[in-house]
Structure 1
Amino acid sequence: MKIPRALAAASLAACVTALPLAASAQEKVLNLYSARHYQTDEALYANFSKATGVRINRVDADDAGILARLKSEGTASPADVILLVDAARLWRAETDGLFQPVKSAVLESRIPATLRGADAGQGSQWFGFSTRGRVIVYNKASVAKADADTYEELGDPKNKGKVCTRSGSHPYNLSLFGAVMQHLGEPATEAWLKGMVANMARAPKGGDTDQIKAVASGECQIALTNTYYLARMMRSSNPDDRAVVEKVGVVFPNQSSWGTHVNIAGAGIAKNSPNRTAAQQFLEYLASEQAQAYFADGNNEWPVVAGAKTTNPALDALGPFKAETIPVSVTGMNQTKVQQMLDRVGYK
């Protein structure tokens, strides 16, 4: 069954009620708190239930709403698995003690160490199951690719008046900026962010799809987006979307240095999970060939399991790229300092 998605974290925290989790002694259940809300995930979950006989009760909200609900419920929370869509949020859930360690030979053999949470010897706190790149799109008619092929160039004076982004405080940008801070250090990162503010064509607003459209329309010339937003438009049958795609170029930044920033969707077992066996079974299922294909083909994300096969033409068209190799948890650890920098430089 699916619990209706709340509109905001505050309403979730204020209106916590007991989930209808009554089950017969023989029935196996899994209580999934998920920040993913893609239609293609329905088949992902249905196939797990069909294969295992485990019924999934789902609570849907955004990352912040999920975390607020878990904190409000405390030790009485019925959550078994927490599924979030951003590295910074996973790190926050980990530091808030919302996960429990998982020791699994299946997960450790299939999920790269850089895409897992902290492990103090008892197992990782969470595991990444899909990735997407934070890329740069540019207007092919007015910008040379060489002027926008690194993150650093977003703050270069040569691009004054050309840049647009969503809010600097959005988790996708906080994760990117946290990674950049790890590469450049604090003083250089703050100077870079100040340069980005100076280069803005307009105040930050909208989502990633809005940035792509703004580049195509000429409202700005250069923007950041997650790859799956662009891939959706590449696969769209809407002529307007196809026209936008024709006008923009895409570059995987920093291929000659540290590589393109990647973010993840990941999950872990809730600290007070009442159905731990089913929870671990579900995590291991998410690392299976079948589930990895759903992540890739359903929501245009790259699988994390080496050799996992996809049939997504947009991902094929985007091609291979060099990704950064720092642990994704680092981006979360840096987010407080990054937010302070954003406040100082006036990045809204």
Structure 2
Amino acid sequence: MRQKAVGKIAVLAIAVMMVLAGCGSNNGASNNQTGANNGTDVVGDKEQSKGEGVVNVFTARHYDIDFQLFDEFEKKTGIQVNEIKGTAEELVERMKREGESSEADLFITVDGGVLNYAKESDVLQPIESETVNGTVAPELRDADNHWVAMASRARVIAYAKDRVTPDQLSTYEDLADPKWKGKVLIRSSSNLYNQSLVASMIELNGEEAAAKWAEGIVANMARDPEGGDRDQAKAVVAGIGDVAVMNTYYVGQLLHSKDAEEVKVGESIGIFFPNQDTTGTHLNISGIGLAKHAKNKDNAIKLIEYMVSKEAQEMLINGSFEFPVNKEAELPAIHKEWGEFKTQQIDYSVLGANNKAATELMNKVGWK
């Protein structure tokens, strides 16, 4: 069985202590773990993690469906997948710090800007795979092939079905109009999804227009930002506000929740894809990059190819409710109900390039 690193630090520590006690020496003890710096987890001993049948995945995603996909990959190939979890920033810094000694073979995270940050941090290398290039559209891959999207998500407007009709909605920009005063729900300025949304607006409309929009959003907030996207949907249904900005996949998760109340929330909100007549709906990605010093490069590329395959994509989107990057993947019923929509046409690298400006202007206008 493959090794899931999460939560294994305490077990590893006990094992190391037993070895030390048994051999009476600390020789090599420090080499039997990759460390738990900055909250990341351990992979195990280096003999195992560098074996021919292994691939080590540094991941900032926290979805159970990823774990299930790795299990399927192992069953099909016999290649063991070791997960090392942490925040994207922690994992990139660890890869930089460890350099050539890094155990990382793959890096997985959300947000195109973060993927570009990893590339600029020089911890990735080009993915050389005709399979990947032939499966995933160029706009969903790095220009130099340092990363490839494995799923996408749209940031949309959720609305109360009993108080708002779709013909009242149009664009992100329209949410800053005074007619929505006291009715808009959205997460905090520290949320990466919102930072990337504003970063995209800077790219499309200019920094001055983006700042004016953010100022209007703050003026129209139904309450100070709190909670995640699910909480915004719940607040809409509770009547705290009428519209919320959120990612589509959270709606899918609400509708398929084991909690009956969450299902009711999902059923009580409608989804509107903004800017269909202008710049398109904001789309962001989850992506996977090949580590610069991958010790198991061939296995890593095999896993990338599997993750974008039709089979894996269908399994992924039915578990996370993101959108597939493989056009051959059969869509779940809810995706078919949403239908096709126009998306923003921007390079995902600008989400990272404009992140600082986006964060600064959000703070300047009082977006908490």
TM-score (norm 2): 0.86
What's the counterpart of residue 333 of structure 2?
313
Question: Does structure 2 retain, via aligned residues, the 8 Å contact 1:6–1:12?
Answer: no
- C-alpha displacement at 1:242, in angstroms? 2.6
- C-alpha displacement at 1:156, in angstroms? 1.3
Structural mapping, 1:260-279, within 5 Å: 260-279=281-300
35-44 or 48-57, which deviates more = 35-44
Structural mapping, 1:206-245, within 5 Å: 206-245=227-266
Distance change (3 Å), C-alpha of 1:5 and 1:200: farther
1:132 aligns with 2:134: no
Structure 1 residue ranges without an equivalent (≥5): none
1:339 aligns with 2:359: yes
Structural mapping, 1:1-348, within 5 Å: 1-4=3-6, 12-13=37-38, 19-23=44-48, 27-119=52-144, 124-310=145-331, 312-348=332-368
Instruction: Tell me the secondary structure at the aligned position of residue 82 of structure 2.
Output: strand
Q: Counterparts of 1:216 and 1:301 in 2: how far apart (Å)?
A: 23
Instruction: Tell me the secondary structure at the aligned position of residue 326 of structure 2.
Output: coil
In structure 2, give the amino acid aligned to 1:114: E
- C-alpha displacement at 1:72, in angstroms? 3.8
Distance change (3 Å), C-alpha of 1:283 and 1:203: same
In structure 1, give the amino acid aligned to 2:261: D
- C-alpha displacement at 1:169, in angstroms? 2.4
Instruction: Tell me the secondary structure at the aligned position of residue 214 of structure 1.
Output: helix
Question: Does structure 1 retain, via aligned residues, the 8 Å contact 2:4–2:83?
Answer: yes
Q: Counterparts of 2:204 and 2:193 in 1: how far apart (Å)?
A: 17
Q: Counterparts of 1:127 and 1:321 in 2: how far apart (Å)?
A: 22
Q: Counterparts of 1:38 and 1:26 in 2: how far apart (Å)?
A: 26
Distance change (3 Å), C-alpha of 1:158 and 1:115: same
- C-alpha displacement at 1:84, in angstroms? 0.6
Question: Does structure 1 retain, via aligned residues, the 8 Å contact 2:5–2:41?
Answer: no
126-135 or 42-51, which deviates more = 42-51
Q: Counterparts of 1:99 and 1:322 in 2: how far apart (Å)?
A: 31
Distance change (3 Å), C-alpha of 1:17 and 1:212: closer
Encode CA deviations 1:95-123: one digit per residue, 9 max, x unaligned: 1112111222111111111111231xxxx
322-331 or 85-94, which deviates more = 322-331
Instruction: Tell me the secondary structure at the aligned position of residue 236 of structure 1.
Output: coil
- C-alpha displacement at 1:12, in angstroms? 3.8
Q: Counterparts of 1:84 and 1:14 in 2: how far apart (Å)?
A: 16
- C-alpha displacement at 1:317, in angstroms? 2.4
Percentage identity across paired residues of the two chains: 37
Instruction: Tell me the secondary structure at the aligned position of residue 93 of structure 1.
Output: helix
Question: Does structure 2 retain, via aligned residues, the 8 Å contact 1:5–1:60?
Answer: no
What's the counterpart of residue 17 of structure 2?
none
Q: Counterparts of 1:48 and 1:300 in 2: how far apart (Å)?
A: 20
Distance change (3 Å), C-alpha of 1:187 and 1:129: same
Distance change (3 Å), C-alpha of 1:68 and 1:25: closer
Instruction: Tell me the secondary structure at the aligned position of residue 48 of structure 2.
Output: coil
Question: Does structure 2 retain, via aligned residues, the 8 Å contact 1:13–1:68?
Answer: no
- How many pairs are equivalent? 340
Question: Does structure 2 retain, via aligned residues, the 8 Å contact 1:80–1:273?
Answer: yes
- C-alpha displacement at 1:18, in angstroms? 6.7
Question: Does structure 1 retain, via aligned residues, the 8 Å contact 2:136–2:326?
Answer: yes
Question: Does structure 2 retain, via aligned residues, the 8 Å contact 1:147–1:153?
Answer: no
57-66 or 249-258, which deviates more = 57-66
Question: Does structure 2 retain, via aligned residues, the 8 Å contact 1:85–1:265?
Answer: yes
- C-alpha displacement at 1:192, in angstroms? 0.5
Instruction: Tell me the secondary structure at the aligned position of residue 54 of structure 2.
Output: strand
Q: Counterparts of 1:314 and 1:65 in 2: how far apart (Å)?
A: 35
